[in-house]
Each structure stands twice: as C-alpha cells, then as structure tokens.
Amino acid sequence: MSAVDPARPDIVAFMAEASAALGTSLPAPKDVFHFGAVGDAAMADKRLRQAIAGEKSATTSWPIPDPLYWGVGDLSVILDGEGNPGAVMRTTSFIRCKFKDVAEDFALAEAEGDYRAYREGHFEFYGKQKNGHEFNDESMVLCERFEVIFAARRGVEE
C-alpha cells in the first residue's frame, strides 16, 4: 500500500485536473511518492523536473514491496519536495533482478549519472535505510520504467 493515501483530497483533485487535461477519466493512482530520501526536498524536486523533462524514465525500488500493489499500466503520482502532486506517471515495465545484474541502459535511464554513479548512489541511499535488511549486490531490486503522462501547470523551481 502506498505510504501516501491516494484518496488525499489534493491527490484526488490533481487526478481530476489530469483527467480533464487529457480528455479521459483516469483511475486513482496505485502509488503516491517522491523520489529520494524523506526530507530531501531539493533532490525530490530535481528528480521530478528530470522526469517531467523526459530525462528520467526509470526508478529502482528496494526492498520490493510484498505484495506489489501496482503493476504495468498503473498510474502513480510523483510528489514535489513539499509533498504536492507534481506529475502523473504510468509504469511501462518491471524487471526484478539482483542489484549486481541491473542493466547499464536502465541505470542511465535513472538520470543519476553514469553506471558507476548509479551504483554508488544506490549503495549509499539504501545503505542508510533502517528496514532490517542489508543492501548488497545480491539484493533483489525492482527496476521500473515509466512515462510521465501529465505534469502540474506550476513549475518546480530550480
């Protein structure tokens, strides 16, 4: 289940705005999240801008939620650094694999630099998480590709 309630009034209003703009009735999002660590508003805003611009079209999840509550074709709302809805994305594919087996083209689609920067950044990020698991090359990760289908009219400032 999403950490942020998809029935939150601002999320519902944002999805209605997206539906009107796209001329179709969109279902409720399966997930509502921001990129990066909790409390890192600048990073959340940067990754949101990259996703809206089409520079970022992938994200890695660890540990993999069980059960997985969203799938290919489902919608999610990406929040900005202040927790406001910033974009609607559609999941286009999933691959489950060991971290050591993440493909370079996927890593580059995360828009976090080269393959080495992707690996180092994820080791640092996941290494700080306190979830009862240790992150390493053998950890199973969820590699998700997505497309942004709607962005908020207000921009996320640099």
* Residues 74-130 pLDDT 10s: 999 999 999 999 999 999 999 999 999 999 999 999 999 999 999 999 999 998 888
pTM above 0.85, yes or no: yes
Strand ranges in 8-102 using DSSP code E only, listed in sequence order = 31-33, 58-61, 75-79, 85-98
Give the pair of three-digit tokens for residue 55: 């520079």
Nearest CA-CA partner of 79 in 14, 43, 35: 35
Nearest CA-CA partner of 86 in 146, 145, 142, 35: 35
Q: Output the pLDDT for position 39.
A: 83
pLDDT band of residue 131 (cuts 50, 70, 90) is confident
